[in-house]
Amino acid sequence: MEPFRSSDFLPWGMFDRITDIRINDPDRPLRAARARMRRSKLTADGRLSLLAADHPARGVTAVGSK
CB 7 within 8 A of CB 66: no
Mean pLDDT, residues 24-46: 89
Asked if residue 60 has pLDDT above 90, the reply is: no
Q: Which residues pair with 63 in a beta bridge?
A: 4
For position 61, what pLDDT does the model report? 63
Q: What is the pTM of this model?
A: 0.48
> How far apart are alpha carbons 41 and 32 in whole angstroms?
20
Between 63 and 57, residue with greater pLDDT: 63
Note the pLDDT of residue 54: 62
CA distances in angstroms from 54 to 31, 34, 58, listed in the order given: 24, 24, 7
Report how far apart, in Å, the C-alpha atoms of 40 and of each of 37, 43, 44 are.
Answer: 10, 9, 10
